[in-house]
Amino acid sequence: MDPQGPNGGDGTSHRLSMPEPPPGIGTGFLTDYWQSQRSLPVMQGPEVLLYYLQQGMRTVLALPTSSVITVLTIAVSLFLLAGFLLVLQNVDRLLSEAGNTLYVTAYIKDTAEPEVVTQFVQQLENNPRVREVEYISKERALDLFREDLGPRSGFLEGLDQSNPLPASVDIVLQPEELDVEKIDGVLEGIRAQPVVEELVYGSEWVDRMQRVIKIFRAFGMTSLLVALGIIVFLISNTIKLVIYARRDEIGIMQLVGASATFVRIPFVLGGLMQGLAGSALGLLLLKGGFTILNYEIRNSTIVGVALPDLVFLNVGAIILLTLVGLIVGAVGSLFALRKFMNV
Amino acid sequence: MSTATAPQASSREIITLYHVDKLYPPNQYALRDIDVRINRGEFIFVAGASGAGKSTLLKLLFAEERASRGQVLVGGRNLVAISRQQKAALRRNIGVIFQDYKLLETRTVLENVAFALEVIGVKKRERFQLAFKMLSAVGLKERIHALPPTLSGGEQQRVAIARALINRPQVILADEPTGNLDPDMTIAVFNLLLEANRCGATVIVASHNLALIEEINKRTLVLDRGRLIGDFEHPKG
Ligand SMILES: Nc1ncnc2c1ncn2[C@@H]1O[C@H](COP(=O)(O)OP(=O)(O)OP(=O)(O)O)[C@@H](O)[C@H]1O
Ligand SMILES: [Mg+2]
């Protein structure tokens, strides 16, 4: 507009400085409020905590579809991770049971004094590394031999007087003591006994099983770590997408004076909540599936042989897996925010 | 034009720009060698054609952008070397009316206005009461529960104005605050800005509405392609 135009300097044109505001606007509230200098009451202690919890909820509920996707991603991830751990644990248990039971037979010298043999058996019974001990006398050995032969045992007639079978002690060693080196110590101890003629056991089997278990555990740990890495990547990417969708909002908050902490805490709490919900859901699904599977196995008539019961994850593993969900949710949110925190 | 010699703020001075350049990468100079001093309680227009650098000047003042050269002092704080924490603290003392409003789309109008109080931890009851009064003052008390995307441009602009004022900021930066308003509403909004100014706030308004600038007749800085080509105490003389 031309400054010297028809409105210039003309008192009647000062409608901006002497306006008639539209009805209901400009109530004079601003001046009263401003000049009162009244300081506003601020939230304290528990109120702040409650506020952040509400805001955390809000970040989850504001974009319900995204949150459902995030929770499901975490749930599926944890279901797979926990399921994998469950399989590993059970296979490990079965392998250990099979590999850790060593049957040893100690043949007793015919010349051994009965009291010394009894003493030897008692010693074994008191040995913490020994799970079971059974003394088999010469007579019992012959009976057992007869049973084994069944109808063809006739040629054993008359051997009762000059029984050639030695007495023996059958020993079952404690599973947890079956460390190859430790076993050797135990076996040497038994062999050194004067009453022992000969010691027979399948140490190759133990050796082989121990090796299998070691390899299996190394494989299990490695693949578990890889699975964990993939899952962290998967979850943090989902969270990244969701936070990316909210980058404008995050920028605006900072432009209006929100501190970094003020912006972060709700997102981190939201991440924690989603992590908790996701892990719980994933583990519940696994528990449900596991219960059904175990029930089917137990009542299975098709298999015919009694299968060993499967064991579910212990409390420690469940807590650990839940923590994985929580931490990935929270830390994933924190990392995803990083890019948008410098407005 | 003031002849600033060193970036040293006096107690009256609230904003100092000392030989400020703003270069947007790779080679777009939005501001060149700007030297300005602004005292507490002034009401100032920043005029200039579209693309002259008005918004950029305001962005330097609340640290959305960083000067490429020179010094920017606001309230005695040098914004060229400011931490993230100080930036947040600065912004709580500045009410900004953004050219594109910048409202939180998932929050209601009332929550948007209350948000400026929320970031300083004001209790819920208090901040909603004040937000309601502030929204009444801009004629929006009927729309407090609406979400910003459902409002007209002018309504959104008034929400932004209410949010900028609710914190009783020392400085108000308004980027084309009435660009979408009809004449009556424009008057009402400028009355609010003038009222805040009478209460002690320093107000800087970027506008290319020359008629409006003349009507209000306050100090006016004129930008042309990034250079300060005029600084008039009263544009109407
Ligand atoms: N982020 C950016 N990156 C690159 N160039 C930019 C950026 N922001 C602004 N510019 C350029 O800087 C110059 C000044 O822009 P600015 O937004 O400050 O102008 P303005 O005076 O506010 O214009 P208007 O009246 O249209 O709002 C323009 O040429 C613009 O293209
Ligand atoms: Mg602009």
**What predicted TM-score, i.e. pTM, was given to this entire model?**
0.76
Residue nearest to atom 29 of ligand 1 (CA): B51
- In this prediction, residue A26 carries a pLDDT of 61
Q: Which residue of B has its CA nearest to A23?
A: B139
Residue at which a domain ends, from A201, A216, A249: A201
Same domain, A88 and A134: no
Domain containing residue A144: 103-201
Q: With an 8 Å Cβ cutoff, are A40 and B191 in contact? A: no
What ipTM goes with this model? 0.90
Residue B6 in tokens:
């060193």
Exposure on the CB side of residue A318, measured as CA atoms within 13 A: 12
Note whether B9 contacts A: Cβ–Cβ < 8 A. Answer: no
> Is A34 inside a domain boundary?
no
In a domain, A12, yes or no: no
Q: What is the C-alpha separation between B67 and B22, in angstroms, rounded?
A: 5
Instruction: Provide the token pair at A73.
Output: 């991603």
Of B22, B23, B28, B207, the one to substitute when testing ligand 1's pocket (max ligand atoms within 8 A of C-beta) is B28
Say if A68 falls within a structural domain: yes
pLDDT single digits (tens) B154-181 = 899 999 999 999 999 999 999 999 888 8
Give domain status of residue A6, yes or no.
no
- Tell me the per-residue pLDDT of A227-239, one tens digit each, with 9 for 90 and over: 889 988 988 898 8
Are A304 and A328 within one domain?
Answer: yes
Which one of A156, A174, A201 terminates a domain? A201
Q: Say if B163 is an interface residue toward chain A (CB within 8 Å).
A: yes
Same domain, A76 and A164: no
* Total count of domains within chain A: 2
User: Which residue is it, tokens 């506020």?
Assistant: A51
**A229 and A110 within one domain:** no
* Same domain as A308, residue A248: yes
Q: Do A260 and B235 touch (CB under 8 A)?
A: no
Binary contact (A42, B192; C-beta < 8 A):
no
Of the CA atoms within 13 Å of residue B12, those in its CB half-sphere come to 4
Determine, for residues B88 and A257 on separate chains, whether the beta-carbon distance falls below 8 Å. yes
pLDDT of residue A212: 84
Question: Looking at the structure, do residues A225 and A114 belong to the same domain, yes or no?
Answer: no
Which residue ranges form the domains of chain B, and what is each CATH number?
12-93+206-237 (3.40.50.300)
Where is A329: in which H helix or E strand?
helix A315-338
* B182-235: pLDDT as tens digits: 888 888 889 889 999 999 999 999 998 898 899 999 999 999 999 999 999 887
- Provide the pLDDT for residue A126: 86
Q: Is A309 part of any domain? A: yes
Residue A279 lies in a domain: yes
- Does one domain contain both A213 and A325? yes
Residue B189 DSSP symbol: H
| Cα–Cα dist B87/B229, whole Å | 30
Q: What is the DSSP string of B31-70?
A: EEEEEEEEETT-EEEEEE-TTSSHHHHHHHHTTSS--SEE
| A173 and A261 fall within a common domain | no
User: Does ligand 1 have an atom closer than 6 angstroms to the CB of B28?
Assistant: yes
Q: Flag if B127 and A40 touch (Cβ within 8 Å).
A: yes
Number of CB atoms found within 10 A of residue A337's CB: 21
The residue ranges of chain A whose pLDDT is under 70 are 1-27, 99-100, 160, 174-181, 203, 300-308
For residues A282 and A73, the answer to whether their CB atoms sit within 8 Å is: no
Among residues A201, A218, A246, the one where a domain terminates is A201
Over residues B36-57, the mean pLDDT reads 96
- Report whether A279 contacts A75 (CB < 8 A): yes
DSSP A12: G
One domain for residues A156 and A182:
yes
Q: What is the pLDDT of residues B97-118, one digit of tens each?
A: 999 999 999 899 999 999 999 9
Contacts of A156 (CB under 8 A, 6+ apart): A142, A145, A146, A149
What are A12-32's pLDDT values in tens digits?
Answer: 444 444 445 555 566 678 888
Range name among A85-99, B1-15, B123-137 with the lowest pLDDT average: B1-15
The pLDDT of residue A198 is 87
| Same-domain pairing of A214 and A194 | no
Pocket test for ligand 1, best of B27, B31, B56 (most atoms within 8 A of CB): B56
Give the ligand 1 atom nearest the CA of B65. Answer: 1
Chain A nearest-CA residue for B61: A255
Residue A65 lies in a domain: yes
The domain spanning residue A124 has which CATH number?
3.30.70.3040
Residue A26 to chain B, least CA–CA distance (Å): 4
Strand B13-24 relative to strand B28-39, pairing: antiparallel
Tell me, yes or no, whether A19 lies in a domain: no
Spatial distance between the Cα atoms of A246 and B134, rounded to a whole number of angstroms: 27
**Residues 6 or more apart in contact with residue A41 via CB below 8 angstroms:** B122, B123, B126
Whether B66 shows a pLDDT value over 50: the answer reads yes
